[in-house]
Amino acid sequence: MVAIATSVRAHGDRNGLLLRRLGPRAMNSKTYEKMNSTASGIVGVVESLRIKLEVLDGEIKADEKGMAEYERQIKQLQIQKEEIQKRLDANKVWAENYDRDVGPFQSTYGKNTESIKKQYDKARNFHEKGIEMLQQDFGYHPLFKHPKDTFSAVPFRPKRL
């Protein structure tokens, strides 16, 4: 046992010195059990916190992987968005040019189709006259070919519009 001397006379010791013991005091069983129970509780809490920390570390790593995947998806979607925007801009330019270039033709579409119809009807009439001339001058019959015919053709009649 180690003792130190202090100069305190309050307790009426001999020679005015108070002796104190250094080191742990002797414990009774009740104090020991209480301290052991407290230490076990602390160890349990520390172990529980360590396990929770490991779980959280695993979740953080999984979240980081997930975040990287989301960032990759976002980049892909941004690239798609840019491509779609480029196509949209090109389509707008095409639509403006279409209105400028084709617009005048569309405004005259009715006149053009009427003119084409007139030309077709003329050609049809001339074709009919040509068939009549072949029948009169050469003995051509559109449905029958005679053995003595020197003229050969495939019968054709333009449709009416």
Contacts (Cβ under 8 Å, ≥6 apart) of 27: 35
Region 16-41 average pLDDT: 74
Half-sphere exposure of 131 (CA within 13 A, CB side): 14
24 assigned to some structural domain: no
Confidence at 139, pLDDT banded by 50, 70, 90: confident
91 assigned to some structural domain: yes
Residue 20: pLDDT over 70: no
The one-character DSSP state at 16 is G
99 assigned to some structural domain: yes
Tell me, what's the pLDDT at 8? Answer: 46
> Full-prediction pTM beyond 0.85?
no
160 assigned to some structural domain: no
Residue 4: pLDDT over 60: no
What does pLDDT average to over the chain?
A: 81
4 assigned to some structural domain: no
Domain carrying residue 61: 29-107
> In total, how many domains does the chain have?
1
* Distance between CA atoms of residues 81 and 94, nearest Å: 20
34 assigned to some structural domain: yes
Determine the length of the chain: 161
37-71: pLDDT as tens digits: 898 889 999 999 999 999 999 999 999 999 999 99
140 assigned to some structural domain: no
Helix (H, G, I), strand (E, B) or coil at 5: strand
Region 136-158 average pLDDT: 70
